[in-house]
Structure 1
Amino acid sequence: MSMLQVETDSLGRPIELYYEDTGYGPPVVLLHGYPFDHAMWEEQAFALASGGCRVISYDRRGFGQSSKPVDGYNFNRFADDLKAVLETLDLHDVTLVGFSMGAGEAVRYMSRHLGQRVTRLALVSAITPGMSRSKDHPEGEDEAKFDDIATRIRADRFAYIEQFVARLLDGGNCSRATVEWIKSLAVPATRIAMLACVRAFAETDFTGDMAAAINLPALVIHGTEDRIAPFAAHGKRTSDLLPGSIFRPYEGGTHGLFATHGAMLSEDLLGLVRTPPTLTLPPPVF
């Protein structure tokens, strides 16, 4: 079991992240989505490692096998945790891949820590540029939406997980066994972490962070039928804010592309890893 200490709490107790480090070659760091853990990347991690990459994935604080403190659930802290992972493992020329909430972590890292050690970026089913409605983001959700989510988590977080996974896959071609496995990835998360991350979604606007990534080879992948982070409000807007990026809509794809379009996503990520940092990306894989 590999654990990496990122800080200590107010009583001096270590806060540690569980991580897996597999394969040899150019490093790829995978940031998982809410409310799951690193294991959601199973298919992509296998494909990347088999394709000649070193694959690092870890559980966000409060989720999976990582420490579960009572605080620290904000995107600045998550970006700092990512920095600790990259530095402790001494990773360079990193392809950074963020899914959903992980995409927010990735772009916050790019701005907060100047993209150190990262040369390629992929944002999959991204929650960027923000989840809440505002003058600059009229397609976002009202505050009442996040209050309702918090109420449902407090009442019965296991029922909420079941409902969330149903929307995540939305009829995608997944076996019942796979659906049950995906739901199980959310069970180790604490109620504190789940509730605090809902608040982080509601309060964080990533628009100002996006400019930090515009000089990298960047790949934006989004399902056209995404019900959690709708295509126009998130995928298209994220691509527009990264004018040098390649935008790859997955026609008919839902939010859970790691499961419903796993092989296709793996091929696209491998294509990004193999792209020299100064060159344009290869054509889409169909």
Structure 2
Amino acid sequence: MPYFESSTDGTRLHFVDYGPADGPVLVFVHSAYFATEMWEYQMLPLAAEGFRCVGLDRRGHGRSDDVWGGFDLDILAGDLGALLDHLDLRDVTLIGHSVGAAEAVRHLTLRGTERVARLALVAGMAPGPARSTDHPDGVAPEVLDAVNAAFRADRARFFAEGAEAFFARHLPGPPVSDAYVAYMVGRCHGATARAGVALGEVVAGLNLVPELVKIDCPVLVVHGSDDVSAPLELTGRRAADLVPGARLHVYEYAGHGLFATHADRLNEDLRAFARA
């Protein structure tokens, strides 16, 4: 069965494992609110090409257990590490989107490159959008607090009203259908309210600068020029500048949902990166 238990607290976690068992391994870490299904335009075609594509439903998301605790970054990264151990995955290309990118970075901080050979940060929140002593141009704490308050007050409205900007539908990039946007808004409700609130708190306090500068494996940073959720200059470009030797690919007119709007281009970049 596609479940295993967290090594930290026994939480039952769901995973997907597509493609041949002996193919090059890609492990996908999804955004907040969604689950592994957000990667359908990556996992299905790449698995069909011979890659082994593995995805974990974060605790409180998708088909994993609904729990109260365990949403600090160490435990979330520990859940990811437990999946790699459970399947005994090696030479992994680890791919994280949004807050999933932060989990991927923390995994490397905790476990190093024992199982991970390369890292792709896709529209990542790392190193963190918040203002700090080493990031004076970041988002003011009160702004992030207001965003989290709006989520707690009416998360249905939060998801529905944020969808246009998430997929940058007002810009001349590749379109996604109204039906797909409605589907993804619905999928956001697959995450529990508790999980959503907890991850908002993680993002508000995120500062991975000391961790990014120590990464010693190849890193690809993919980011949209018009990402509202994780603005390029506050996250993606900073991450690329901090990680030694990192490569930055900026997609013009792309928002946070570039995994759907720019799926073909993202797949091309991931395919080349994993085979390099």
| TM-score between both structures, scaled by the size of structure 2 | 0.94
Distance in 1 (CA, whole Å) between partners of 2:109 and 2:48 is: 31
Residue 279 of structure 1: aligned partner:
none
Distance in 2 (CA, whole Å) between partners of 1:184 and 1:58 is: 19
Alignment of 1:136-285 (within 5 A): 136-171=134-169, 173-213=175-215, 215-275=216-276
Aligned residues: 270
The verdict on how the C-alpha distance between 1:8 and 1:210 changes in structure 2, with shifts beyond 3 A counting, is: closer
Aligned equivalent of 1:19, options 1, 15, 26:
15
Alignment-mate amino acid for residue 48 of structure 1:
L
Alignment of 1:41-120 (within 5 A): 41-120=39-118
2:8–2:75 contact (8 Å) kept in structure 1: no
Residue 283 of structure 1: aligned partner:
none
Deviation at 1:150, TM superposition (A): 2.4
Choose 138-147 or 177-186, whichever is displaced more.
138-147
- Aligned with 2:4: secondary structure? strand
| TM-score between both structures, scaled by the size of structure 1 | 0.91
Cα deviation per residue 1:234-263 (whole Å; 9 max; x = unaligned)?
A: 111110011311111111211111011011
Distance in 2 (CA, whole Å) between partners of 1:50 and 1:158 is: 35
Residue 6 of structure 1: aligned partner:
6
Distance in 1 (CA, whole Å) between partners of 2:71 and 2:143 is: 19
Residue 281 of structure 1: aligned partner:
none
Deviation at 1:8, TM superposition (A): 6.6
Choose 32-41 or 171-180, whichever is displaced more.
171-180
1:98–1:104 contact (8 Å) kept in structure 2: yes
Distance in 1 (CA, whole Å) between partners of 2:7 and 2:109 is: 21
Cα deviation per residue 1:15-64 (whole Å; 9 max; x = unaligned)?
A: 11111101020111000011211100000001211221100001111111
- Aligned with 2:14: secondary structure? strand
Query: Structure 1 residue runs of 4+, over 2 Å off?
Result: 163-167
The verdict on how the C-alpha distance between 1:8 and 1:220 changes in structure 2, with shifts beyond 3 A counting, is: closer
2:33–2:190 contact (8 Å) kept in structure 1: no
Deviation at 1:199, TM superposition (A): 0.7
Cα deviation per residue 1:94-127 (whole Å; 9 max; x = unaligned)?
A: 0000011111011111111123200011001011
Alignment-mate amino acid for residue 2 of structure 2:
S
- Aligned with 2:6: secondary structure? strand
How large is the RMSD of aligned CA atoms in angstroms?
1.4
Deviation at 1:152, TM superposition (A): 1.8
Alignment-mate amino acid for residue 150 of structure 2:
R
Gaps of 5+ in 1: 276-286
- Aligned with 1:231: secondary structure? coil
Alignment-mate amino acid for residue 195 of structure 1:
V
- Aligned with 1:56: secondary structure? strand
Distance in 1 (CA, whole Å) between partners of 2:8 and 2:227 is: 38
Distance in 1 (CA, whole Å) between partners of 2:109 and 2:247 is: 20
Cα deviation per residue 1:167-225 (whole Å; 9 max; x = unaligned)?
A: 21121511001101211221111111111111111112111111332x32211111111
Gaps of 5+ in 2: none
Residue 34 of structure 1: aligned partner:
32
